Structure formats: C-alpha cells, structure tokens
Amino acid sequence: MPKQEMDGVELFNLALSIVGTVLRDGDQKVSELGELFEVSEAAVKKAVLAVANSEDLKNYETHFYVDLEELDNGYVSISQGMSPLGEPPALSKRQLSSIAIGLDYLAAIPQFAADAELQALRTLIRESSPAAVTNQTPTRLSEQIEKLQQALGRQLAVSCEYINQTGVKSSRTIDPLRIDFIGRRHYLRGYCRTSKELRAFRLDRIQSIELTDSEIPESTKALKIPEDVFGESAQEQLVEISASAEAAEVFWNFPVASEPRQVGDEVRGTIRVGNLAALGRHVAKYGGMVKVIAPESARAAVRDFANRAISGAATPGDEE
C-alpha cells in the first residue's frame, strides 16, 4: 500500500502496534518497522516518541523505557516500565467492520466467489455478510475476468470487440494493466493499441476476449494509471444539472466542473460530458429525479433517449 501521511490517531495506532511487535520480537530497525507497517521511517520515529513521552505526571510513573540514543542510530528498543500493555488491543468494531465490508466486497467479485481462503477469513472475522443478495453475475463476466487474469499473468495483449456507451462497436487490441472493480462495475485498465491511449473499458461491454501472442511492452507497463476511470475528450461540454437528494449520486458518475451545491431540496452542479449522445442513459435512469438545466442540446439528448425508450426504437449510435 502507498505510504500516506498519518494523523494523530493513526500514529497512536502505530505506536500500539510497534510496542506489540518490539515487546514480542525484541529490538527492531526503524527501517524494517517502516517496511513492515508500510509507513515512512519518520512516522515510525514519531510513533516511538509517543511511547517515550507517555509519562504519568500524577504518579510519576514511566510506562515504557525507550532508548532514544538507539532511536537516533536507527533502532527501536523498548522495555516495559509500569505499563501492563504488552500487546495491542483487539480490533475495534470500526476496524473490523471496515475490513469485513472490504472482504464482502471481494467476495462479490467473480474470481473470489469460490475462494476457500477468503471464505475461511470471512468466517473468522465474523462480521461478514452474504456477498450478494441476488445472483446476477453472468457467467460470461467470470470467464472474461479469468481470461484477463491469464493475460495479466503472462503479460500478453488481448484482442476483443467493444461496444461503447453510445452503442458503437469496434475491434481493439489492448495491453491489459489492471482490473478495477469500482462500485459494482468491472473495468479493464489498459493501453489501447487501436486508439493509442490509456483507457478504461467496462467489462460488460467487452465481447470475445482472446489472448494474443504479443507481449506488453515495458514502456506500457510503466504507464501511470489515472485514479479516475473517466476518459478525457477533446469535445467536452459543460452541462448544468439538478438532482433530488436521492439521485445526487449522479454527480459521482461524471467529472464535475463545479462543486455541486444544495439549492432548496435539490443538488445543483455542472458536469463535464464527453458525448451528449451518452448523457441520456445516465440522466433518464433516475426517472425524472435528475434534470438537465442547460444547454438545450443536452436537454434534447435526454428527451430523445427517453422518447426512444418509450417507443421501443433502437438507440442510434454515433455514425463513426
């Protein structure tokens, strides 16, 4: 995991954990503790100082003795004073819940569904819930993920057919880099050799994945994958929308141009839309709880999408 800045509470947790480790395993190098807990050496030192400075002023008691000279030399040496604390407390409800939810989330991913070690872990954690309440994961998705994992393991490009959000189909060769599972959608993050750019492809829009014998170039492996799955478009338009409280999540599905704000019972904001033809589906799904305010072309795109759905006509795609 990436090393992150730690706040006071996290440092406190680190201090508890370092005490447990050092009292059990003996003196440790600062660098090794940093590696173990995936934090910086500075964070380890700060946490150790928290242990050193834990004197009881009322009773003049020293809870722990820390060798500060050794700390300067890169070693952590702690011995117990008056404190009975010998190991860190068991996980809190909040810690357990956060891990249990994460594990439930993993269990809902097809490639982990039958994983015996995950099931055993979820039983051990005891906070876990059923991974899913319905069984809507198509077999095809599981097969796709398996193929992509093979490609990722063997570092090979894949070829596939892709249908974009406006219904346009294309054949692509992609260097797979990672599979993201965000919310409830799977995305293949990879370099598209066809469009010559780093892209995110929704797995449910990919068909007929085949492994090629072409290896993923080293230069591609070194590419930094952006956090967001939103692609960039040269023809981006600003669209002002409003949403009821219940449908405010619509703002999570687009890059926002201005922070959404509360106006009466509604949330208003401006989103950046790459293709108006694709806007209809994102707005119409909320059945009127989301409204496009401007521009008129965006309102028309949403209206047309809903009208076509009512009349049952096929959605026309781009003429690309």
Sign of CA dihedral 16, 19, 23, 25: positive
Between residues 181 and 236, which has the closer beta carbon with respect to another protein?
A: 181
Nearest approach in angstroms of CB 158 to another protein is 13
| 3-class secondary-structure state, position 279 | helix
**Cα gap 30→9, rounded to integer Å:** 20
- By residue count, the chain amounts to 320
| 3-class secondary-structure state, position 17 | helix
Between residues 111 and 212, which has the closer beta carbon with respect to another protein?
A: 111
Sequence-ordered strand ranges (E) for the chain: 28-29, 64-66, 75-76, 78-80, 156-163, 169-182, 185-192, 197-202, 206-215, 237-244, 256-263, 266-273, 290-294
Nearest approach in angstroms of CB 194 to another protein is 19
| 3-class secondary-structure state, position 25 | helix
Between residues 1 and 234, which has the closer beta carbon with respect to another protein?
A: 1
Nearest approach in angstroms of CB 196 to another protein is 23
Q: Give the HSE-up count for residue 41: Cα atoms under 13 Å, Cβ half-sphere.
A: 11
Between residues 94 and 234, which has the closer beta carbon with respect to another protein?
A: 94
Between residues 234 and 261, which has the closer beta carbon with respect to another protein?
A: 261
Q: What region, left, alpha or beta, does residue 60 occupy, with left being phi > 0 and alpha being psi -120 to 50 degrees?
A: left
Q: Is 118 within 8 Å of 103 (Cβ atoms)? A: yes
Burial 199-210 (b: 16+ CB within 10 A, else e): bbbbbebbeebe
Q: Give the torsion through C-alpha atoms of 244, 249, 255, 261, to 10 deg.
A: 40
Between residues 79 and 207, which has the closer beta carbon with respect to another protein?
A: 207
Residue 306 main-chain phi, psi, to 5 deg: -65, -40
